[in-house]
Each structure stands twice: as C-alpha cells, then as structure tokens.
Amino acid sequence: MIERASASPEWRADNLSVEKVGTAAQQALLCRIADWAQYSYLGLIGLAIFARGIRALVERRRGLIRLSYGNGKTIRVPVGLSVLEASTRFNIPHSSVCGGRARCSTCRIRIIGDCSALPEPSNRETFVLDRVGAGGDPAIRLACQLRPKCDVAFFQIFPAYTSVSSASKFAPVHPGKERYVVSMFVDMRGSTKLAEQLLPFDTVFIINRFLTAVSQAVVECGGQPNQFVGDGQLALFGLSATPQTACRQAIEAAARIAVHIDALNEFLGDNVPEPLRFGIGIHGGEVIIGDIGSQEHTVFTALGDSVNVAARLQDLTKALSCEVVLSQDILKTAALSAGDLPRVEVPIRGRVEPLVLHTVTKAGMLSAIAADFAVAAA
C-alpha cells in the first residue's frame, strides 16, 4: 500500500520532505550511528568470549582437580573453586540455603577417604560445624567453604533435588537471608467459647472479620500479615524498613488493632455473646526470612528465635492480664521510653539473662507512644 502511495507526487511531498526525513548529511550520520551500535554490540560479545577464554587459560595454568560426587559423577574443575561453586558451574544440584555464606550447614559433605590433604577449615566453617555437632569429625566439611587443592571424593549429606528441572522448579523466589525483623503475634481470645455458642459458619465469619481488622491495621502501619494460624496471625515489620522504623510500626499497629477491633465490636453488637478480645506479643531480632516448604508449595516467612519469643509473649498476655506484652528491646530500638508501662522479667529458654518485658493493659494506650514518635518525625 505504501509502495502504491509513494508513486503519488503529493504523498512524496508530504512524507519525504526534509522536515520529515532529514537532510542527506543527517541521514548519513544516522547510518553511521547505527553501524557503530552494531559494531559495539558485536565487540562486547567478542570481549565476553575472549574474557572467558582468558579465564579458562588462567584456570588451566593453576591446575585442574577431580571432584567425585560418590554417585558415579566426576567433574574436573580448576583449583581455587569451592566445592559448591564447582557444583553450580556444572549444574549439579547442591543444597545451599544461605547461598554459600557459611550460615546454614545445608551444603555439608562427607569426604570419602583421606582428609589430611584438605585445607584446614576457617574459623567461620569451624563455628558452623561445631554448632551442628560435626566439629570433631574432619570428614565433614562445608562445600561452600572448602576449596580443595587435590582430587577429592565425597557425598552430599543433604542431597538437593535430584534433577536440574526439579531443582529449578523449587528455586525459591525469596532465597533465605538474615534480617532484623519485628514479629507480632495477635491472637483472638475466647474463640472456643464463641464456637460453642455460635453456628460453625458464623464463627468462621467472625474470625475472618477479626483477622481482616488485624491485617488492615498491620498494613496501614507498614507491616505484612504473614501467617494465619487458626484465629491468630503472625505479622512482620521491617522487611524493607530499618529496625527503628520496624519497632515503631509494630507499636503503632498494636494501637490501631485496638481501634479496628472496637469498630468491629460495635458492628457485631449483640450478634456475639461478648465483645471480641485479643492478645498481642511483640519482639524483634535477627531472623532468616525466605521461602520454606516443599517442591509443590512454598510460603514466605521468618524463622528464628525472636519469632518464637514473640509467640511466647502473646501467650503471656493471658497470665499477665493485659492486651499487649512487648520486649524492652522493642522500645529501646524504637528509641522510646517505657514511661509508666509496668516492667516484668521472665526467663526464656536458652538465655542466661531473663527477658525484660513491658505490659500494656489496653493496646489503645500505645497510641500515646505512637503519637510521640509521629510528632518527633514531623
């Protein structure tokens, strides 16, 4: 169609004028730019191929060693690579939850035969192996830390998924990483009594409304509802915020939960035997965040001591007759004073020192603290 139209002098005058297609000099410049772009692109590809060639040459000069995986598979790799790097380079599935940073021990291997020629484990590797009770056994090593200089045979203690396709199927969207996160457990009180007095579907309806009100408060304050366990919820703060902000967000969320649950109680009125009540536990610390689960199903969550402590604090709200129990660390990290909040100390399993806590009779009382830092931030 364009070919036919271009035969007309009017069309040519309209579409091929200097304003539309530029001068001959401009067209020549454009052609030169297009040529340069093409040459540069090809040059970059050539450079990458050349660099790979140089790397292969340098690695060959350093020498090659054999790694035998104990299942008949043997690869030849350059000296200097860690066993885990070698597995990755040759697409051999190898468990490595922490990504090779000596933080997990899932890449552990058992050396078959003599271990005396292997480099000594570093302090970090020794620490991890001691932690998992393998410190006294020279045959157990971390594949991500071991850089053998001679042939070595081993087998993986935690075999990864056996085929590359299944491994990639499980490839987590969020591989594990360490991060300071504030965990908040919120639990609905009296749900058993509720279930006894209401029809099952009505109970589910009310629990859903309760969890929605809690989630709404969490999201409004910058947190993330993470897991629902029955009538309870784990919310995380600090997945993309500083520890101070995370602590402040959690405190503010606790105050807002009170507001949302008050509104819900008003809405439910006489349809529930008694107003909905709740308990909240808040604690923060370094945890591992990432996807956990099976090949078919993974969930993003946080794992670590501080998550368990937050759950315990939520439980303590019953014994301490209050709505919120938060650790002193939360207030300290938020750079806030505890003011008149009662202080208690509780022993925590695995800790020498008891944990210092503050109790809050009514979660709404935290709105005064939240207002303080809102003013400070303004």
With CB under 6 A as the contact rule, the residue among 102, 194, 217, 251 that binds ligand FES is: 102
Q: How many residues does the chain have?
A: 378
Least separation in angstroms between CB 101 and ligand FES? 6
Per CB under 6 A, the segment of 101-109, 131-139, 146-154, 317-325 that binds ligand FES is 101-109
At 39, give phi and psi (nearest 5°). Answer: -65, -40
With CB under 6 A as the contact rule, the residue among 69, 78, 83, 96 that binds ligand FES is: 96
Helical H runs in the chain?
2-5, 9-15, 18-21, 24-62, 83-89, 123-131, 164-170, 191-197, 200-220, 243-268, 305-319, 328-333, 366-377
CB nearer ligand FES, residue 102 or residue 324: 102
Least separation in angstroms between CB 60 and ligand FES? 27
Considering only residues 331 through 360, tell me which ones interact with ligand FES, judged by CB under 6 A.
Answer: none
- What is the C-alpha separation between 118 and 184, in angstroms, rounded? 46
Per CB under 6 A, the segment of 70-78, 97-105, 190-198, 246-254 that binds ligand FES is 97-105
Residue 369 binds ligand FES, judged by CB under 6 A: no
Residue 97 binds ligand FES, judged by CB under 6 A: yes
Residue 103 binds ligand FES, judged by CB under 6 A: yes
What order do you get walking across the sheet with 140-142 strand by strand? 74-78, 64-68, 152-156, 108-112, 140-142
Least separation in angstroms between CB 72 and ligand FES? 24
Least separation in angstroms between CB 295 and ligand FES? 19
Number of residues that bind ligand FES (CB under 6 A): 13
Least separation in angstroms between CB 107 and ligand FES? 3
Considering only residues 106 through 145, tell me which ones interact with ligand FES, judged by CB under 6 A.
Answer: 106-107, 128, 142, 144
Q: In this structure, are residues 287 and 302 in contact, taking their beta carbons and an 8 Å threshold?
A: yes
Residue among 197, 209, 191, 187 at smallest CA distance from 267: 209
Q: Report DSSP letters for 74-124, one per residue.
A: EEEEETT--HHHHHHHTT-----TTSSSSSS-TTEEEEES--TTSPPPPHH
Residue 104 binds ligand FES, judged by CB under 6 A: yes
Residue 279 binds ligand FES, judged by CB under 6 A: no
For the chain, the maximum distance between any two Cα atoms, rounded to a whole number of angstroms, is 93
Residue nearest to ligand FES (CB): 144
With CB under 6 A as the contact rule, the residue among 105, 226, 249, 367 that binds ligand FES is: 105
CB nearer ligand FES, residue 103 or residue 189: 103
Over the Cα atoms of the chain, what is R_g? 31
- Cα four-point dihedral sign 195, 199, 203, 209: negative
- What is the C-alpha separation between 141 and 115, in angstroms, rounded? 10
| Interface positions with ligand FES (CB under 6 A) | 96-98, 100, 102-107, 128, 142, 144
